[in-house]
Amino acid sequence: MSCTDAKTMVEGTDFEKKHTPMIECKDTVKTGEIFEVKIHTAGVEHPMDDGHFIQFMGLRIGDIPLARADLTQYAKPEVVFHIKAPSEGHKGTVMKLTAYAYCNLHGIWKYEKEIKIE
């Protein structure tokens, strides 16, 4: 399955904006800190109908899967995860968070955000 990678949504089409998962979280976190990560579509809400909806949203840090939420047509395409920042061994590094959203008609979409680990 291919994955559509959105670099920026400032100039994206409405089609891109309603499929691309955006990440809202702190830019800097402390090692071992529990922090909130909100994932939602990029400014245009995706339809959530019987035949067309966001089926799941997920989150990774680097190559490590962190969380996933399965959705139905009755849910809003928005999730909040509480994530534990990596351990002391990652202090002073920048790590990539990747959000995924799967539309049952248009496939999987992703968005990346870098966070600094203190």
- The CA-based diameter of the chain, rounded to the nearest angstrom, is 46
111: its two tokens: 């968005």
Q: Is the pLDDT of residue 57 over 70?
A: yes
DSSP 46: P
Q: Is the pLDDT of residue 10 over 70?
A: no
pLDDT per residue as tens digits for the range 85-116: 998 889 999 999 999 999 999 999 999 999 99
CATH 2.60.40.730 correct for 3-117: yes
pLDDT of residue 1: 40
Burial label, 29 (beta-carbon count in 10 A; 0-12, 13-18, 19+): buried
Q: How many CB atoms lie within 10 A of CB 11?
A: 7
Per-domain boundaries in the chain: 3-117
pTM value > 0.85: yes
Average pLDDT over residues 26-51: 94
